[in-house]
Amino acid sequence: MRKQALSGILGVLAAFAIGALVLALQGFNPVATYGALLQYSLFSGSGFTATVTRAVPLILTGLSASIAFASGPVNLGQPGQLVMGALGATLVGLFVHLPSAFLVPLCILASLLGGALWSGLAALLKRAFAMDEFIVTLMLNFIADYFALWVITYPLFDPSASTPMTRPISTAAWLPDLGSVNTSVLFMVLAAVVCWLIMSRGRSGYEWRMTGQNSLFARIGGCKVNANYVRVMLVTGALAGLAGGLMIMGGPHRFVKGLGANYAWDGIMIAVVASNGISGTFLYGLLFSALQQGAIGMELVTAVPSEFIDVLQAVIVLVVVAGRVSLNMVFDRLATRRKLKESAG
Amino acid sequence: MNVLFGLVSAMVVGATPILLAAIGGTFTFYAGIFNIAMEGMMLVGAFCAVLGSFFLHSWFLGILCAVAGALIMAGIFVLFAVRLHTDEFLTGIALNLFAVGLTTFLLRDIFHVKGAFTDAGIRAIPAVKLPLIDGIPFLGRLLSGYNAIVYVALLVTVLSAFVIFRTRFGLRLRGAGYNAACLSSSGVPASTIRIWSLIVCAVCCGLAGAYLSLGYVRLFAENMSAGRGWISLTAVILVSGNPWGIAIISLLFGFFDGLTVFLQGSRIPTQFTAMIPYVATLVSLYLYSVRKRRQA
């Protein structure tokens, strides 16, 4: 754990240094750029709350990818599952008329189901026909995208809009702002805590992790590997779906064209840097959210294109992941040397 | 008759980028690398092709730039996955993200546009009329007049089949995947062979990228590889790397891709026709698993 934190911090700093080099080569001032980035994401009231709200889909899709990767299934379908979850919440929000106390939970449930349906489809294809989930979930992403685009272009199209989008969902399903932070943050934190409890305190989490590390060992130890596979796919799909539902209910309150496109691979990226840990996913989710939020202010102040952040994120992933492996080798070497000395002495 | 010609040409046009990337992928497949970075290499290739073609006023230099860009990606892959022993899958994911980020950033930084860059100054790769065949009435129209890269792709396929199965390098390549320790102990470092396989893969993906942005269309759009790298990876897995099998699968995907374009005027909503290549991938995966089960 300490090793992880150390390699993470070193990696992020190294990535920032590489980013500074790129900026300097392009003739920008790195200090001013990073200053603006932090100013607009963390050190201003409105920036900070926006960062936290933006972190909701990032952390949820990140948790989805983390739990999947840690338990074995290579679920790369968070983008598609997010879209289907958002679609589920939108459908309920549009056509069901209930007081808020019932409609909000119902919408959340619909988003969970929407995501789980999409990942469940992949799980079914794997279990019934041995089709690799990693390609299936990827292809389902594209299919979900086009399907959602069709839904908002034809059956649910808002005639008063110029681009494809649905009508706004019933106001009873809107998640209110708590001060300046949207309540969707609470749902995200709750989901993260539940994930942490399942993975590090629960029996099923232990089984899943063992299966992820060595499925033969888990099977011989008595875990129902196949049933667990389906469960993990459903849970991770539901998490990504929840991200989509909360985006609708807390944000634009309608399904807009291109929803989730910006978050497409972020969840997977966060899981990869966090090496599939729950707390790591939470922290990196906040970091990436801060970067993305600060990017807008950075562009305003320093004229550095906000797309610079996309490069910086990918550099962080590469450097942190490679750095972890290299640092582990260094740690192992040090440990061996110490042991050798002890046995010699 | 015109429908047939239209469909055949749409099929060839759609198949070419997938074929090229998949042939690249087959080299790394035989070398025992789980390479998922084709998508990123193709995207960077497509961007660099436009960059070169626009600023150097030559489609040929554009192609060279595309290859160079993809080679830089391969260099990063080598640095992390082969030298620093980072997980190949994670390196591939990070590289693909890096490619998307880098190309959108540079699109903004160099061309000052968001979304897509198109300009009359971009030189497209010309179509080639085959000297003899072009004169033959039916065959000429069927086989001649495609983009130069299409013929390059065909040549690459034949060459790769020869190289992989008939040369010393091919034997070593397959050895690196089959039993790396055995290969290394016989005096040929497996890591060297792997680096070469990545270089070949990058050249192919660079060509595929150049075809996307200078042949298929004449512009660069954000994320324009649109999953083709993943589809080509599927093609490689489905036929366990055999170049001839890849050619057939690519033509099949090309057919469905062509069908997408073809059905655009029909009453089926474009959102559904656009799904066809991805659904076709799923169906081919299904057929593959059924066949495998029968053999077992």
* Alpha-carbon span A176 to A178, nearest angstrom: 6
Q: What's the confidence (pLDDT) of residue A264?
A: 65
pLDDT band (50, 70, 90) for residue A343: confident
For residue A321, give the chain B residue with the closest CA. Answer: B86
Assess contact for B209 and B66: CB atoms under 8 A: yes
**Cα–Cα dist A95/A117, whole Å:** 20
Task: Please give the Cα distance from B237 to B229 (Å, whole number).
Answer: 12
Residue A43 near residue A293, CB atoms below 8 Å: no
Q: Among A17-21, A100-104, A267-271, B126-130, where is mean pLDDT lowest? A: B126-130
* A127-144 pLDDT per residue, tens: 999 888 888 998 999 999
Which amino acid belongs to residue B125? I
Domain boundaries, chain A: 1-28+305-345, 55-303
CA B284 to chain centre: 18
**For residues A266 and A61, is the Cβ–Cβ distance under 8 A?**
yes
pLDDT at B25: 95
Residue A333 has pLDDT above 90, yes or no: no
Q: Which amino acid is at B225?
A: S
Q: Is the pLDDT of residue A150 over 90?
A: yes
Taking 70 as the threshold, does the pLDDT of residue A311 lie above it? yes
- Choice among A237-241, A317-321, B49-53, B167-171 with the minimum mean pLDDT: A317-321
Q: Establish if A303 touches chain B: CB-CB under 8 angstroms.
A: no
Q: Any CB–CB contact under 8 A between A118 and chain B? A: no
Average pLDDT over residues A205-225: 91
State the angle between helix axes of B276-295 and A133-153 in degrees (0 to 180), rounded to the nearest 10. 150
Closest partner CB to B227 (pick from A142, A311, A326):
A142
Q: What is the mean pLDDT of chain A?
A: 90
A325 inside 8 A of chain B by CB: yes
Contacts of B290 in chain A (CB under 8 A): 129
Tell me the CATH number of domain A55-303, given options 1.10.10, 1.10.3470, 3.40.50, 1.10.760.
1.10.3470
| Coil, strand or helix at A251 | coil
Mean pLDDT by 10-residue block, N- to C-terminus, for chain B (296 residues)? 81 92 95 92 96 94 96 94 85 89 90 88 87 79 86 94 94 92 90 95 96 91 88 88 91 86 80 89 89 81
Candidates B40, B79, B44; CA nearest to B65 is: B44
pLDDT band at A156 (very low <50, low <70, confident <90, very high): confident
- Measured between CB atoms, which of A150, A310, A322 is closest to B271? A150
Instruction: Examine the pLDDT at A49 and tell me if it is beyond 70.
Output: yes
State whether A136 and B285 contact (CB < 8 Å): yes
Token pair 């070497």 is at which residue?
A333
Chain B CB within 8 Å of residue A99 CB = no
**For the purposes of burial, counting CB atoms within 10 Å of the CB of B263, is it exposed (0-12), middle (13-18) or buried (19 or more)?**
middle
Question: Would you call B275 and A146 a contact, using CB atoms and an 8 Å cutoff?
Answer: yes
The confidence band for A345, taking pLDDT boundaries of 50, 70 and 90, is: low
What pLDDT score does B135 carry?
77
| Closest-CA residue to A78 (of A92, A91, A61) | A61
- Interface contact B94-A313, CB threshold 8 A: no
Q: What pLDDT, on the 0 to 100 scale, is given for residue A334?
A: 87
Interchain contact, A265 vs B95, CB within 8 Å: no
- A143–chain B Cβ distance below 8 A for any pair: yes
- What is the pLDDT, as a whole number, of residue A262? 65
Contact call for B105 and A307, based on CB within 8 A: yes
**Closest by alpha carbon to A318, among A276, A279, A269, A277?**
A269
CB-CB neighbors (< 8 A) of A315 in chain B? 98
Residue A144 CB partners (closer than 8 Å, separation 6+): A79, A80, A81, A83, A84, A118
